[in-house]
Chains A and B, each alone.
Chain A
């Protein structure tokens, strides 16, 4: 096969260059680390649609942190009734105060989820958190420095490197 036959098989060099130029922005924007993090969260739970009630306990900002696929949140998480992390704490007021005194608050929904849209609040970190609901209050003793998904630092029963889930009372 002579070198001259290649253009007929693959198209002209100019066409190939044009295709590569068109694909380049797509390839350049693809972040395999982010894609892996999203994939690692798994599928939606059966019977739960995408929306405010989905994926309680997961690190919300993986998908809602600006790189998609969900809308941008500034902060989001899930609050549980007890440390066991089995029952959602609905109707809890989450009060957030930033380093400059700017404050906002939001209530947890029926599955314990709360979220603050990125357009609604732009805090200066670190941020302090207080919870109030059902006659109980909880104050986070440390501050949020930069990770704005509760589940980035709070997971199940906790370990030496992560705190337990966010909860309102120790429970039985």
Chain B
């Protein structure tokens, strides 16, 4: 009797766990967030967040690589050449890997659920962040990020934010 109860309990727990699992193939579709339109966003993030003492450090989460940050190519210095396509791809993966399910939801909602993303909350200073506020809602960096997360692009805003002093 006790064994039967235990088995029933285990089956029930297993059912609950499977109900919360990730998609059956273990992947989260982030295709709505276009990697091809990411390089200007990557440049903006490098400028605002990617210095060597912040997310440009190899010891930080949401690790960014490229100009002003750690580099991928052997022999390349942080302040050397411009960021490469491989570095932009690396940064794209860093960003979508933070909260893959949520970022896919945000993309699917065309940006309606932006505040669900830790990336957005921390960058805007809405959540505790060691680096404090790095993006002000409505500024060029914010417009750049919001557009991309919404499935659009605003290269002009990204470029302006990436070149700001």
Contacts and interface: CB of A to CB of B under 8 A. Distances in A.
Interface string A159-170: 111111000000
A125 B71 contact: no
B70 A161 contact: yes
B77 A153 contact: no
Interface in A98-152: 124-126, 128, 141-147, 152
Contacts, number: 57
A161 B69 CA distance: 7
Contact of B58 (A128, A161, A164): A161
B53 A160 contact: no
B57 interface: yes
Nearest to B78: A163
Contact of A141 (B58, B73, B79): B79
A160 B131 contact: no
A124 B131 CA distance: 11
B72 interface: yes
Contact of A144 (B53, B72, B75, B130): B53
B54 A128 contact: no
A145 B129 CA distance: 12
Residues of B contacting A: mostly: loop
A146 B52 contact: no
B51 interface: yes
Interface string B24-64: 00000000000000000000000100011110011000000
Contacts of B138: none
A146 B68 contact: no
A48 to B, nearest CB: 28
A160 B51 contact: no
A161 B68 contact: no
B132 interface: yes
A163 B51 CA distance: 11
Nearest to A125: B132
Given A125-B132, A161-B58, A146 B53 contact: yes
Given A153-B51, A163-B78, 4 more contacts: A142-B47, A159-B77, A160-B78, A161-B78
| A-B interface, 6 closest residue pairs, ranked by CB to CB distance from nearest | A147-B53, A142-B68, A153-B52, A145-B54, A160-B71, A161-B70
Interface of B: 47, 51-54, 57-58, 68, 70-79, 130-132, 165
Interface of A: 124-126, 128, 141-147, 152-153, 158-164
